[in-house]
Structure 1
Amino acid sequence: MKKLLIIEDDTDIGDMLDINLRDEGYSVDIATDGLTGMKRLQAQSYDLLVLDLMLPGLDGLEICRQVRQMPHYQPIIIISAKSAEMQRVLGLELGADDYLSKPFSVPELIARIRALFRRIDALQRELQNQTGVLVCDDLRIDPVAHDVKLGGQTITLTAKEFELLLFFAKQPGKVFTRMALLDQVWGYSHDGYEHTVNSHINRLRSKIERNSAKPQFIQTVWGVGYKFTENGKE
Protein backbone atom coordinates (compact mmCIF):
# COMPACT_ATOMS: atom_id res chain seq x y z
CA MET A 1 0.00 0.00 0.00
CA LYS A 2 1.43 3.37 -1.01
CA LYS A 3 1.72 5.92 1.77
CA LEU A 4 0.87 9.58 1.14
CA LEU A 5 1.49 12.69 3.23
CA ILE A 6 -0.82 15.67 2.76
CA ILE A 7 0.37 19.01 4.15
CA GLU A 8 -2.69 21.27 4.01
CA ASP A 9 -3.87 23.81 6.57
CA ASP A 10 -7.48 23.87 5.31
CA THR A 11 -9.03 21.07 7.38
CA ASP A 12 -12.03 20.74 5.03
CA ILE A 13 -9.73 20.06 2.07
CA GLY A 14 -7.57 17.77 4.17
CA ASP A 15 -10.53 15.72 5.37
CA MET A 16 -11.94 15.49 1.84
CA LEU A 17 -8.61 14.24 0.48
CA ASP A 18 -8.17 11.84 3.39
CA ILE A 19 -11.53 10.16 2.73
CA ASN A 20 -11.18 9.97 -1.05
CA LEU A 21 -7.57 8.81 -1.14
CA ARG A 22 -8.21 6.13 1.47
CA ASP A 23 -11.13 4.95 -0.69
CA GLU A 24 -8.57 4.58 -3.51
CA GLY A 25 -6.49 2.26 -1.35
CA TYR A 26 -3.80 4.67 -0.18
CA SER A 27 -2.53 5.10 3.37
CA VAL A 28 -2.80 8.78 4.29
CA ASP A 29 -1.19 11.02 6.91
CA ILE A 30 -2.19 14.68 7.26
CA ALA A 31 -0.27 17.64 8.68
CA THR A 32 -1.96 21.01 9.03
CA ASP A 33 1.17 23.15 9.27
CA GLY A 34 4.56 23.21 7.60
CA LEU A 35 6.73 22.43 10.61
CA THR A 36 4.74 19.33 11.54
CA GLY A 37 4.75 18.17 7.94
CA MET A 38 8.52 18.62 7.66
CA LYS A 39 9.11 16.65 10.86
CA ARG A 40 7.06 13.77 9.47
CA LEU A 41 9.02 13.81 6.23
CA GLN A 42 12.27 13.67 8.19
CA ALA A 43 11.02 10.86 10.44
CA GLN A 44 9.65 8.45 7.82
CA SER A 45 9.43 7.69 4.14
CA TYR A 46 6.40 8.47 1.98
CA ASP A 47 5.57 7.46 -1.58
CA LEU A 48 4.09 10.88 -2.36
CA LEU A 49 3.77 14.34 -0.83
CA VAL A 50 0.70 16.46 -1.64
CA LEU A 51 1.80 19.95 -0.67
CA ASP A 52 -0.06 23.23 -0.22
CA LEU A 53 2.11 26.33 -0.62
CA MET A 54 0.41 28.77 1.76
CA LEU A 55 1.10 27.14 5.13
CA PRO A 56 1.61 28.37 8.69
CA GLY A 57 4.96 27.76 10.35
CA LEU A 58 6.93 26.79 7.24
CA ASP A 59 5.68 27.57 3.76
CA GLY A 60 5.41 25.04 0.98
CA LEU A 61 8.26 26.46 -1.09
CA GLU A 62 10.70 26.02 1.79
CA ILE A 63 9.41 22.48 2.37
CA CYS A 64 9.94 21.71 -1.32
CA ARG A 65 13.46 23.13 -1.14
CA GLN A 66 14.35 21.08 1.93
CA VAL A 67 12.83 17.89 0.53
CA ARG A 68 14.93 18.21 -2.64
CA GLN A 69 18.06 18.38 -0.45
CA MET A 70 17.26 15.01 1.13
CA PRO A 71 19.23 11.99 -0.11
CA HIS A 72 16.15 10.05 -1.30
CA TYR A 73 13.75 11.15 -4.01
CA GLN A 74 10.34 12.29 -2.76
CA PRO A 75 7.60 12.77 -5.41
CA ILE A 76 5.70 16.04 -4.85
CA ILE A 77 2.39 17.33 -6.17
CA ILE A 78 1.71 20.97 -5.34
CA ILE A 79 -1.83 22.26 -4.78
CA SER A 80 -2.03 26.02 -4.91
CA ALA A 81 -4.45 28.93 -5.21
CA LYS A 82 -4.76 30.42 -8.69
CA SER A 83 -3.65 33.81 -7.36
CA ALA A 84 -0.26 32.36 -6.41
CA GLU A 85 0.96 31.87 -9.99
CA MET A 86 4.59 32.74 -9.32
CA GLN A 87 4.68 30.48 -6.28
CA ARG A 88 3.51 27.54 -8.37
CA VAL A 89 6.21 28.31 -10.93
CA LEU A 90 8.84 28.49 -8.20
CA GLY A 91 7.58 25.21 -6.77
CA LEU A 92 8.04 23.48 -10.12
CA GLU A 93 11.50 24.98 -10.52
CA LEU A 94 12.41 23.74 -7.04
CA GLY A 95 11.63 20.21 -8.17
CA ALA A 96 7.92 19.54 -7.71
CA ASP A 97 6.63 16.88 -10.10
CA ASP A 98 3.19 18.33 -10.78
CA TYR A 99 0.70 20.95 -9.64
CA LEU A 100 -3.01 21.55 -9.41
CA SER A 101 -4.71 24.90 -9.02
CA LYS A 102 -7.30 25.43 -6.29
CA PRO A 103 -10.15 24.82 -6.51
CA PHE A 104 -9.47 21.40 -8.04
CA SER A 105 -11.48 18.24 -8.57
CA VAL A 106 -10.58 15.22 -6.48
CA PRO A 107 -10.87 12.85 -9.50
CA GLU A 108 -8.31 14.96 -11.35
CA LEU A 109 -5.91 14.85 -8.38
CA ILE A 110 -6.34 11.07 -8.17
CA ALA A 111 -5.66 10.80 -11.91
CA ARG A 112 -2.50 12.91 -11.52
CA ILE A 113 -1.34 10.72 -8.63
CA ARG A 114 -1.87 7.54 -10.66
CA ALA A 115 -0.05 9.05 -13.65
CA LEU A 116 2.90 10.09 -11.46
CA PHE A 117 3.18 6.62 -9.94
CA ARG A 118 3.04 5.08 -13.43
CA ARG A 119 5.90 7.30 -14.60
CA ILE A 120 7.98 6.47 -11.53
CA ASP A 121 7.34 2.73 -11.91
CA ALA A 122 8.21 2.86 -15.62
CA LEU A 123 11.44 4.75 -14.92
CA GLN A 124 12.42 2.26 -12.22
CA ARG A 125 11.76 -0.68 -14.53
CA GLU A 126 13.77 0.97 -17.28
CA LEU A 127 16.69 1.65 -14.95
CA GLN A 128 16.62 -1.93 -13.69
CA ASN A 129 16.90 -3.16 -17.27
CA GLN A 130 19.86 -0.89 -18.01
CA THR A 131 23.33 -2.15 -17.19
CA GLY A 132 25.58 -0.02 -19.40
CA VAL A 133 27.19 3.31 -18.56
CA LEU A 134 26.53 6.10 -21.08
CA VAL A 135 29.76 7.79 -22.12
CA CYS A 136 30.12 11.02 -24.08
CA ASP A 137 33.65 12.36 -24.24
CA ASP A 138 34.67 12.55 -20.55
CA LEU A 139 31.09 12.62 -19.25
CA ARG A 140 29.97 9.26 -17.78
CA ILE A 141 26.35 8.58 -16.75
CA ASP A 142 25.49 5.46 -14.76
CA PRO A 143 21.69 4.95 -14.98
CA VAL A 144 21.58 2.26 -12.30
CA ALA A 145 23.77 3.98 -9.68
CA HIS A 146 22.36 7.42 -10.54
CA ASP A 147 25.97 8.55 -10.78
CA VAL A 148 27.43 11.21 -13.06
CA LYS A 149 31.14 11.87 -13.48
CA LEU A 150 32.92 14.53 -15.50
CA GLY A 151 36.62 13.96 -15.97
CA GLY A 152 36.51 11.41 -13.15
CA GLN A 153 34.92 13.87 -10.71
CA THR A 154 31.46 13.10 -9.32
CA ILE A 155 28.79 15.66 -10.24
CA THR A 156 25.93 16.09 -7.77
CA LEU A 157 22.56 16.40 -9.50
CA THR A 158 18.99 16.60 -8.26
CA ALA A 159 16.65 13.78 -9.27
CA LYS A 160 15.04 15.89 -11.98
CA GLU A 161 18.40 17.12 -13.30
CA PHE A 162 19.60 13.52 -13.55
CA GLU A 163 16.38 12.44 -15.30
CA LEU A 164 16.71 15.33 -17.77
CA LEU A 165 20.38 14.56 -18.50
CA LEU A 166 19.68 10.85 -18.94
CA PHE A 167 16.77 11.62 -21.29
CA PHE A 168 19.05 13.77 -23.46
CA ALA A 169 22.04 11.40 -23.38
CA LYS A 170 19.96 8.42 -24.48
CA GLN A 171 18.91 10.31 -27.64
CA PRO A 172 22.01 12.18 -28.88
CA GLY A 173 21.48 14.54 -31.78
CA LYS A 174 17.69 14.59 -31.45
CA VAL A 175 16.19 18.05 -31.01
CA PHE A 176 13.46 18.56 -28.40
CA THR A 177 11.24 21.58 -27.96
CA ARG A 178 10.64 22.91 -24.45
CA MET A 179 7.05 21.69 -24.59
CA ALA A 180 8.21 18.21 -25.61
CA LEU A 181 10.64 18.12 -22.68
CA LEU A 182 7.90 19.25 -20.29
CA ASP A 183 5.65 16.48 -21.56
CA GLN A 184 8.23 13.68 -21.60
CA VAL A 185 10.40 14.52 -18.57
CA TRP A 186 8.00 16.39 -16.31
CA GLY A 187 4.85 14.62 -17.47
CA TYR A 188 2.81 17.70 -18.37
CA SER A 189 2.92 20.30 -21.14
CA HIS A 190 1.10 23.40 -19.94
CA ASP A 191 1.64 26.61 -21.89
CA GLY A 192 3.64 29.21 -20.00
CA TYR A 193 5.90 26.79 -18.12
CA GLU A 194 8.63 26.42 -20.74
CA HIS A 195 10.89 28.56 -18.51
CA THR A 196 10.88 25.63 -16.04
CA VAL A 197 12.84 23.72 -18.69
CA ASN A 198 15.15 26.68 -19.23
CA SER A 199 15.90 26.94 -15.51
CA HIS A 200 16.71 23.24 -15.17
CA ILE A 201 18.91 23.24 -18.27
CA ASN A 202 20.78 26.31 -17.04
CA ARG A 203 21.43 24.64 -13.67
CA LEU A 204 22.41 21.38 -15.37
CA ARG A 205 24.82 23.20 -17.68
CA SER A 206 26.40 24.99 -14.72
CA LYS A 207 27.25 21.56 -13.29
CA ILE A 208 28.34 19.51 -16.32
CA GLU A 209 29.69 22.11 -18.74
CA ARG A 210 33.19 23.53 -18.39
CA ASN A 211 31.91 26.72 -19.99
CA SER A 212 28.14 27.06 -19.73
CA ALA A 213 28.24 30.01 -22.15
CA LYS A 214 29.61 27.61 -24.80
CA PRO A 215 27.96 24.29 -23.88
CA GLN A 216 29.67 21.13 -25.05
CA PHE A 217 26.95 18.62 -24.21
CA ILE A 218 23.47 20.21 -24.03
CA GLN A 219 23.28 22.52 -27.01
CA THR A 220 20.69 25.12 -27.97
CA VAL A 221 19.05 24.82 -31.37
CA TRP A 222 17.95 28.38 -31.88
CA GLY A 223 14.27 28.84 -32.52
CA VAL A 224 13.54 25.18 -31.78
CA GLY A 225 14.84 23.82 -28.47
CA TYR A 226 17.74 21.71 -27.23
CA LYS A 227 19.72 18.62 -28.17
CA PHE A 228 22.46 16.48 -26.66
CA THR A 229 25.62 16.50 -28.76
CA GLU A 230 26.37 13.38 -30.79
CA ASN A 231 30.13 13.35 -30.15
CA GLY A 232 30.79 15.35 -26.98
CA LYS A 233 32.40 18.16 -28.95
CA GLU A 234 31.17 21.69 -29.39
Structure 2
Amino acid sequence: MQSPDPVRLLVVDDEPHIADLVATVARYEGWQAVTAGTGQAALSRAAEFGPDIVVLDLMLPDFDGFTVLDRLRAGGNAVPVVFLTAKDATADRIAGLTRGGDDYLVKPFSVEELMARLRAVLRRSAGLAQQPEARGAVLRVGDLTLDEDTREVRRGDVPAELTPTEYELLRYLMRRSPAVLTKAQILDHVWEYDFGGRSNVVELVISHLRRKVDAGGGEPLIHTVRGVGYVVRQAHR
Protein backbone atom coordinates (compact mmCIF):
# COMPACT_ATOMS: atom_id res chain seq x y z
CA MET A 1 0.00 0.00 0.00
CA GLN A 2 1.44 3.35 -1.04
CA SER A 3 1.98 5.77 1.83
CA PRO A 4 0.41 9.22 1.52
CA ASP A 5 2.58 12.13 0.49
CA PRO A 6 4.01 14.07 3.44
CA VAL A 7 2.47 17.41 4.37
CA ARG A 8 4.43 20.32 2.89
CA LEU A 9 4.77 23.19 5.38
CA LEU A 10 6.11 26.69 4.70
CA VAL A 11 7.13 28.63 7.84
CA VAL A 12 7.49 32.39 7.36
CA ASP A 13 9.14 34.25 10.24
CA ASP A 14 11.97 36.79 10.40
CA GLU A 15 13.25 35.21 13.64
CA PRO A 16 15.31 32.25 12.40
CA HIS A 17 15.19 30.38 15.71
CA ILE A 18 11.38 30.36 15.64
CA ALA A 19 11.16 29.36 11.99
CA ASP A 20 13.74 26.61 12.48
CA LEU A 21 12.02 25.34 15.64
CA VAL A 22 8.64 24.99 13.93
CA ALA A 23 10.19 23.42 10.83
CA THR A 24 12.20 20.94 12.92
CA VAL A 25 9.16 19.82 14.91
CA ALA A 26 7.19 19.43 11.68
CA ARG A 27 9.96 17.27 10.22
CA TYR A 28 9.80 15.03 13.29
CA GLU A 29 6.11 14.61 12.40
CA GLY A 30 7.20 13.34 9.00
CA TRP A 31 6.32 16.56 7.18
CA GLN A 32 8.44 18.40 4.63
CA ALA A 33 9.18 21.91 5.88
CA VAL A 34 10.95 24.96 4.44
CA THR A 35 11.38 28.44 5.88
CA ALA A 36 11.40 32.04 4.67
CA GLY A 37 12.44 35.20 6.50
CA THR A 38 10.85 37.91 4.33
CA GLY A 39 7.59 38.48 2.51
CA GLN A 40 9.23 38.28 -0.91
CA ALA A 41 11.03 35.06 0.03
CA ALA A 42 7.70 33.65 1.25
CA LEU A 43 6.04 34.30 -2.10
CA SER A 44 8.97 32.75 -3.97
CA ARG A 45 9.00 29.71 -1.68
CA ALA A 46 5.24 29.28 -2.05
CA ALA A 47 5.54 29.28 -5.84
CA GLU A 48 8.45 26.83 -5.87
CA PHE A 49 7.52 24.52 -2.99
CA GLY A 50 3.75 24.36 -3.32
CA PRO A 51 2.98 24.10 0.40
CA ASP A 52 -0.11 22.39 1.79
CA ILE A 53 -0.21 24.89 4.67
CA VAL A 54 1.64 28.06 5.72
CA VAL A 55 2.63 29.43 9.13
CA LEU A 56 2.89 33.19 8.61
CA ASP A 57 4.26 35.94 10.85
CA LEU A 58 2.69 39.39 10.51
CA MET A 59 5.81 41.48 11.16
CA LEU A 60 8.33 40.92 8.36
CA PRO A 61 11.23 43.17 7.29
CA ASP A 62 9.96 44.05 3.80
CA PHE A 63 6.14 43.86 3.84
CA ASP A 64 3.76 42.43 6.39
CA GLY A 65 2.07 39.06 6.53
CA PHE A 66 -1.27 40.52 5.46
CA THR A 67 0.34 41.60 2.20
CA VAL A 68 1.81 38.13 1.72
CA LEU A 69 -1.65 36.61 2.21
CA ASP A 70 -3.28 39.15 -0.11
CA ARG A 71 -0.74 38.41 -2.87
CA LEU A 72 -1.18 34.66 -2.46
CA ARG A 73 -4.95 34.97 -2.75
CA ALA A 74 -4.72 37.44 -5.65
CA GLY A 75 -2.58 34.89 -7.48
CA GLY A 76 -5.22 32.20 -6.99
CA ASN A 77 -3.35 30.35 -4.23
CA ALA A 78 -5.91 29.12 -1.65
CA VAL A 79 -3.35 27.40 0.61
CA PRO A 80 -4.49 27.43 4.28
CA VAL A 81 -2.65 30.03 6.37
CA VAL A 82 -2.17 30.09 10.14
CA PHE A 83 -0.89 33.41 11.48
CA LEU A 84 1.78 33.21 14.21
CA THR A 85 2.55 36.66 15.57
CA ALA A 86 3.19 38.82 18.62
CA LYS A 87 0.36 41.15 17.54
CA ASP A 88 -2.56 40.18 19.77
CA ALA A 89 -5.00 43.04 19.21
CA THR A 90 -8.55 42.06 18.29
CA ALA A 91 -8.31 44.24 15.16
CA ASP A 92 -5.33 42.21 13.96
CA ARG A 93 -7.15 38.92 14.59
CA ILE A 94 -10.19 40.19 12.70
CA ALA A 95 -8.03 41.39 9.80
CA GLY A 96 -6.17 38.09 9.62
CA LEU A 97 -9.31 35.97 9.48
CA THR A 98 -11.29 38.35 7.30
CA ARG A 99 -8.56 38.49 4.68
CA GLY A 100 -8.53 34.73 4.25
CA GLY A 101 -6.44 33.34 7.11
CA ASP A 102 -7.63 30.12 8.74
CA ASP A 103 -6.33 30.56 12.30
CA TYR A 104 -4.39 33.02 14.45
CA LEU A 105 -1.95 32.10 17.24
CA VAL A 106 -0.21 34.69 19.41
CA LYS A 107 3.42 34.54 20.56
CA PRO A 108 4.72 33.29 22.94
CA PHE A 109 3.22 30.00 21.88
CA SER A 110 3.32 26.28 22.51
CA VAL A 111 4.72 24.28 19.59
CA GLU A 112 2.35 21.45 20.52
CA GLU A 113 -0.64 23.78 20.26
CA LEU A 114 0.59 25.16 16.94
CA MET A 115 0.92 21.64 15.50
CA ALA A 116 -2.57 20.78 16.79
CA ARG A 117 -3.96 23.83 15.07
CA LEU A 118 -2.15 23.01 11.84
CA ARG A 119 -3.52 19.47 11.86
CA ALA A 120 -7.03 20.77 12.54
CA VAL A 121 -6.82 23.29 9.68
CA LEU A 122 -5.56 20.56 7.35
CA ARG A 123 -8.49 18.33 8.33
CA ARG A 124 -10.93 21.15 7.65
CA SER A 125 -9.26 21.87 4.31
CA ALA A 126 -9.46 18.21 3.30
CA GLY A 127 -13.07 18.36 4.46
CA LEU A 128 -15.44 15.99 2.82
CA ALA A 129 -12.70 14.02 1.11
CA GLN A 130 -11.96 12.52 4.53
CA GLN A 131 -15.66 11.97 5.31
CA PRO A 132 -17.19 10.14 2.33
CA GLU A 133 -20.14 8.98 4.40
CA ALA A 134 -21.24 12.61 4.75
CA ARG A 135 -21.24 13.34 1.03
CA GLY A 136 -24.27 13.90 -1.10
CA ALA A 137 -26.44 16.19 1.00
CA VAL A 138 -27.59 19.66 0.01
CA LEU A 139 -28.34 21.55 3.22
CA ARG A 140 -31.01 24.27 3.06
CA VAL A 141 -32.16 26.93 5.47
CA GLY A 142 -34.43 29.47 3.81
CA ASP A 143 -32.71 30.49 0.58
CA LEU A 144 -29.28 29.50 1.91
CA THR A 145 -27.89 26.28 0.43
CA LEU A 146 -24.71 24.33 1.07
CA ASP A 147 -23.78 21.49 -1.29
CA GLU A 148 -21.60 18.93 0.47
CA ASP A 149 -20.44 17.38 -2.82
CA THR A 150 -19.23 20.55 -4.49
CA ARG A 151 -18.69 22.59 -1.28
CA GLU A 152 -20.62 25.43 -2.92
CA VAL A 153 -22.52 27.83 -0.70
CA ARG A 154 -25.18 30.10 -2.16
CA ARG A 155 -27.59 32.68 -0.78
CA GLY A 156 -30.34 32.62 -3.37
CA ASP A 157 -28.49 32.87 -6.69
CA VAL A 158 -25.42 34.55 -5.18
CA PRO A 159 -22.39 32.35 -4.38
CA ALA A 160 -20.54 32.87 -1.10
CA GLU A 161 -16.79 32.30 -1.11
CA LEU A 162 -15.85 30.82 2.28
CA THR A 163 -12.56 29.77 3.85
CA PRO A 164 -12.35 26.12 4.97
CA THR A 165 -13.01 27.18 8.57
CA GLU A 166 -16.00 29.33 7.64
CA TYR A 167 -17.39 26.50 5.51
CA GLU A 168 -17.07 23.91 8.28
CA LEU A 169 -18.67 26.22 10.85
CA LEU A 170 -21.60 27.03 8.57
CA ARG A 171 -22.00 23.37 7.65
CA TYR A 172 -22.13 22.40 11.35
CA LEU A 173 -24.72 25.08 12.13
CA MET A 174 -26.88 24.11 9.14
CA ARG A 175 -26.69 20.39 9.92
CA ARG A 176 -27.89 21.06 13.48
CA SER A 177 -30.46 23.72 12.56
CA PRO A 178 -32.72 24.81 14.26
CA ALA A 179 -30.76 23.78 17.35
CA VAL A 180 -28.75 26.46 19.16
CA LEU A 181 -25.09 25.47 19.49
CA THR A 182 -22.86 26.69 22.29
CA LYS A 183 -19.39 28.12 21.73
CA ALA A 184 -17.94 25.03 23.43
CA GLN A 185 -19.77 22.72 21.01
CA ILE A 186 -18.55 24.74 18.03
CA LEU A 187 -14.94 24.81 19.24
CA ASP A 188 -14.99 21.07 19.87
CA HIS A 189 -16.49 20.19 16.49
CA VAL A 190 -14.89 22.74 14.15
CA TRP A 191 -11.48 23.35 15.73
CA GLU A 192 -11.06 19.99 17.50
CA TYR A 193 -8.93 21.46 20.26
CA ASP A 194 -9.47 23.58 23.37
CA PHE A 195 -8.85 27.32 23.24
CA GLY A 196 -9.00 27.44 27.04
CA GLY A 197 -10.99 30.66 26.90
CA ARG A 198 -8.07 32.53 25.33
CA SER A 199 -9.66 33.39 22.03
CA ASN A 200 -12.85 34.93 20.69
CA VAL A 201 -12.31 33.11 17.41
CA VAL A 202 -15.89 31.82 17.25
CA GLU A 203 -17.31 35.34 17.41
CA LEU A 204 -14.84 36.49 14.75
CA VAL A 205 -15.67 33.73 12.30
CA ILE A 206 -19.41 34.16 12.93
CA SER A 207 -19.06 37.86 12.12
CA HIS A 208 -17.30 37.01 8.84
CA LEU A 209 -20.01 34.50 7.95
CA ARG A 210 -22.67 37.14 8.55
CA ARG A 211 -20.93 39.50 6.14
CA LYS A 212 -20.81 36.81 3.46
CA VAL A 213 -24.19 35.12 4.06
CA ASP A 214 -26.47 37.81 5.51
CA ALA A 215 -25.04 40.96 3.91
CA GLY A 216 -27.14 40.86 0.74
CA GLY A 217 -30.17 42.55 2.27
CA GLY A 218 -32.29 39.44 2.73
CA GLU A 219 -33.60 37.99 5.95
CA PRO A 220 -30.77 37.38 8.46
CA LEU A 221 -30.28 33.67 9.00
CA ILE A 222 -27.34 33.55 11.43
CA HIS A 223 -28.54 34.46 14.90
CA THR A 224 -26.91 34.94 18.29
CA VAL A 225 -28.92 33.59 21.22
CA ARG A 226 -27.62 35.69 24.08
CA GLY A 227 -26.06 33.64 26.83
CA VAL A 228 -26.43 30.39 24.87
CA GLY A 229 -24.75 30.36 21.46
CA TYR A 230 -25.48 30.52 17.74
CA VAL A 231 -28.06 29.14 15.32
CA VAL A 232 -28.85 29.21 11.61
CA ARG A 233 -32.62 29.45 11.08
CA GLN A 234 -35.34 31.59 9.63
CA ALA A 235 -36.81 34.14 12.01
CA HIS A 236 -39.96 33.08 13.79
CA ARG A 237 -43.10 34.66 12.39
Q: What TM-score range do you get, normalising by the shorter chain?
A: 0.7 to 0.9
Cα deviation 1:2-40 (Å, max 9, x = unaligned): 111011111222233333322321111211101220233
Equivalent residue pairs, number: 228
Cα deviation 1:20-77 (Å, max 9, x = unaligned): 3223211112111012202333455311111122111121233334445565542222
1:191 aligns with 2:191: no
Contact 2:120/2:191 (CA < 8 Å) preserved in 1?
A: no
1:154 aligns with 2:159: yes
More divergent stretch after superposition (5-14 vs 178-187): 178-187
Partner AA of 2:226 in structure 1? W
1:228 aligns with 2:232: yes
The CA distance in 1 between the partners of 2:111 and 2:212, in whole Å, is: 39
Q: Which residue of 2 aligns with 1:102?
A: 107
Partner AA of 1:153 in structure 2? V
Distance 1:93 1:191, change over 3 A: farther
The CA distance in 2 between the partners of 1:148 and 1:89, in whole Å, is: 22
Which of these residues, 169, 186, 189, is aligned with residue 181 of structure 1?
186
Q: TM-score, normalised by structure 2?
A: 0.78
More divergent stretch after superposition (141-150 vs 15-24): 15-24
Structure 1 unmatched runs, 5+ = none
Q: TM-score, normalised by structure 1?
A: 0.78
Cα deviation 1:162-182 (Å, max 9, x = unaligned): 222211111111112334334
Residue 116 of structure 1 deviates from its aligned partner by 3.9
The CA distance in 1 between the partners of 2:161 and 2:125, in whole Å, is: 21
Which of these residues, 40, 62, 81, is aligned with residue 57 of structure 1?
62
Contact 2:128/2:135 (CA < 8 Å) preserved in 1?
A: no
Q: Identity across aligned pairs (percent)? A: 34
Contact 1:98/1:186 (CA < 8 Å) preserved in 2?
A: no
Q: Which residue of 2 aligns with 1:208?
A: 213
Q: Which residue of 1 aligns with 2:175?
A: 170
Partner AA of 2:80 in structure 1? P
Matches within 5 A, 1:102-141: 102-121=107-126, 123-126=128-131, 129-141=134-146
Distance 1:232 1:143, change over 3 A: farther
The CA distance in 2 between the partners of 1:89 and 1:68, in whole Å, is: 17
Structure 2 unmatched runs, 5+ = 1-5
SS in 2 for 1:170: helix
Cα deviation 1:123-167 (Å, max 9, x = unaligned): 532267411212233322111212122333333333333222211
SS in 2 for 1:161: helix
Partner AA of 2:165 in structure 1? K
Distance 1:16 1:174, change over 3 A: same
